[in-house]
Chain A
Amino acid sequence: MEGQSVEELLAKAERDEAERLQRITVHKELELEFDLGNLLALDRNPPTGLRRAGPTPEAELQALARDNTQLLINQLWQLPTERVEEALVARLPEPTTRLPREKPVPRPRPLTRWQQFARLKGIRPKKKTNLVWDEVSGQWRRRWGYQRARDDTKEWLIEVPGGADPLEDQFAKRIQAKKERVAKNELNRLRNLARAHKMQLPSAAGMHPTGHQSKEELGRAMQVAKVSTASVGRFQERLPKEKAPRGSGKKRKFQPLFGDFAAEKKSQLELLRVMNSKKPQLDVTRATNKQMREEDQEEAAKKRKMSQKGKMNSAPPRSGGKRKGEHHQGGKRRK
Chain B
Amino acid sequence: MRPLTEEETRVMFEKIAKYIGENLQLLVDRPDGTYCFRLHNDRVYYVSEKILKLAANISGDKLVSLGTCFGKFTKTHKFRLHITALDYLAPYAKYKVWIKPGAEQSFLYGNHVLKSGLGRITESTCQYQGVVVYSMADVPLGTHILLRYKRPETGDSFANSSQVQLKKKKSAYTLENILQGKIWPS
A interface, CB within 8 angstroms of B: 254-259, 261, 264-265, 267-269, 271-272, 275-276, 283, 285-286, 289, 293, 328-332
Contact = CB atoms under 8 A, between A and B. Distances in A.
B2 A255 contact: yes
Interface in B1-34: 1-3, 5-6, 9-10, 13-14, 17, 22, 24-25, 28-29, 34
Nearest to A283: B126
Contacts of A283: 126
B103 interface: no
A257 B10 contact: no
Contact of B3 (A254, A285, A329): A254
B41 to A, nearest CB: 14
Given A255-B3, A271-B9, A265 B150 contact: no
Given A268-B9, A271-B9, A293-B153, A257 B126 contact: no
A265 B56 contact: no
Contact of A272 (B6, B28, B38, B52): B28
A272 B3 contact: no
Given A255-B3, A257-B3, A275 B13 contact: yes
Nearest to A274: B10
A288 to B, nearest CB: 12
Contacts of A267: 6
A286 B126 contact: yes
User: 6 shortest A-B CB distances, which residue pairs?
Assistant: A254-B2, A255-B3, A268-B28, A261-B34, A328-B153, A272-B25
B176 interface: no
Contact of B153 (A254, A255, A275, A289): A289
B127 to A, nearest CB: 7
A30 to B, nearest CB: 47
Contacts of B10: 271, 275
Contacts of A330: 153
Contact of A271 (B3, B6, B34): B6
Interface in B30-53: 34, 36, 38, 49, 52-53
A275 B34 contact: no
B174 to A, nearest CB: 18
A259 B2 CA distance: 10
A285 B17 CA distance: 20
B47 to A, nearest CB: 11
Contacts, number: 61
7 contacts: A254-B2, A255-B2, A257-B1, A258-B53, A258-B56, A269-B29, A332-B150
Nearest to B6: A271
Contacts of A276: 22
A264 B3 contact: yes
Contacts of A264: 3, 36
Contacts of B56: 257-258
A264 B29 CA distance: 10
A98 to B, nearest CB: 36
Contacts of B127: 285
Contact of A258 (B24, B52, B150): B52
Interface centre among A271, A272, A275, A329 (most CB of B within 10 A): A272
A283 B129 CA distance: 12
A261 B3 contact: no
A331 B36 contact: no
A261 B52 CA distance: 12
Nearest to A286: B126
A265 B34 contact: yes
Contacts of A272: 13, 17, 22, 24-25, 28
Given A285-B126, A331-B150, A261 B25 contact: no
B28 A275 contact: no
Nearest to A272: B25
A333 to B, nearest CB: 11
A269 B28 contact: yes
A269 B30 CA distance: 12
A328 B160 CA distance: 15
Given A265-B28, A265-B34, A285-B126, A257 B9 contact: no
Contacts of B5: 254-255
A323 B55 CA distance: 69
Contacts of A256: 3
